[in-house]
Amino acid sequence: MSCVLFLLTHSLRYSYTGSSQVPNLPEYQSVGLVNEVQISHCDSNTNRNVPKQDWMSLLDEDPLYWEQQTEICLSNQPLVKANIYTAQQRFNQTCGIHILQYMYGCEWDDETGEVNGYLQVGYDGEDFIAFDIRKQTWIAPTPQAVFTKHKWDNDRASTQQTVYYLNQICPERLEKYVNYGKSSRLRTVLPSMSLLQKTPSSPVSCHATGFYPDRVAMFWRKDGEEIHEDVDHGEILPNHDGTFQYEIHLDLSSVKPEDWSRYDCVFQFSGVKDDIITKLDKVLMFLFNRNIQVIGAVVVLLLQLDAVTGFIISKNKGQRLKRCIFGV
């Protein structure tokens, strides 16, 4: 019997990405995600912030909500572009491909009520600056960010607004989104299972895709007993349609071909009695492997840009929080 821990933590994450001279990539794009499922998107090509889940259209009774989100998207674009230029000066760069990435959000445990908020900025794939919400100060891991740290540390009003958003507004919105999507999340979608092996000497991968929700476990067995040796677990990843995929790998280099039939892959849903068992079968695996190249191409097309982003909060007269990019 496998002992599995199913987490009860929900997450809300927004990411903004600005780029310079990157072919086939918008100069700016923003993405919102709830539990790693995309809920909103805007970029400098479409210039529209739009919902990516049906239940997000219920968001706020205010009919102008998405227009206001679009305004934020438009106002962020020149600020991000200016910040890329500033970062280039800090690093003594004159041209070339550069990416400025911001990420902010919160995690909420619906059982304990614990909330963890975060805000961080990256430049060209490296950490640039991050907010320590407990100490309410900024951390500069690179010398080029020290000036920004002092500038933001001295802006106590913005710091307090940021803390308020991350500790109060963000978890409130997250709980609201979780409730909006409840009917969608209560459904159970069974996975499509396949066995994949790139070469005769490669590990065998047990691949599950298209399942929902993501509170699952998957493991290899030999003679009906769970095994851990020569097993490598991947990560549960989101698909473009809100479902998930997961795979685990088994190294069979020391196993005789006639013993392969003693192995099987087990997929378990939290709260679902029956397991999905896939027997290790060379014939089935051969058939699946004929489609590896097609599957790989589709996966590449469906991967979402997982950008890292950040912002400040300010209140307008209607008590609506507005997100603005920090100037570095």
- Three-class DSSP category at 192: strand
Domains with residue ranges and CATH for the chain: 9-183+306-324 (3.30.500.10), 192-302 (2.60.40.10)
- 26 class by beta-carbon count within 10 Å (0-12 exposed, 13-18 middle, 19+ buried): middle
- Three-class DSSP category at 199: coil
pTM reported for the whole predicted model: 0.62
Give the residue among 15, 14, 77, 16 at the shortest CA–CA distance from 44. 77
Per-residue pLDDT of the chain (328 residues; tens, 9 = 90+): 444 434 468 999 999 999 999 888 999 999 999 988 889 999 999 999 999 887 787 665 677 888 999 999 999 999 999 999 999 999 999 888 999 999 999 999 888 889 999 999 999 999 999 999 999 999 999 999 999 999 999 999 999 999 999 999 999 999 988 888 776 655 678 899 999 888 888 999 999 999 888 889 999 999 999 999 999 999 999 887 778 999 999 999 889 988 999 999 999 987 677 899 999 977 656 544 544 443 333 333 333 333 333 333 333 333 333 344 556 7
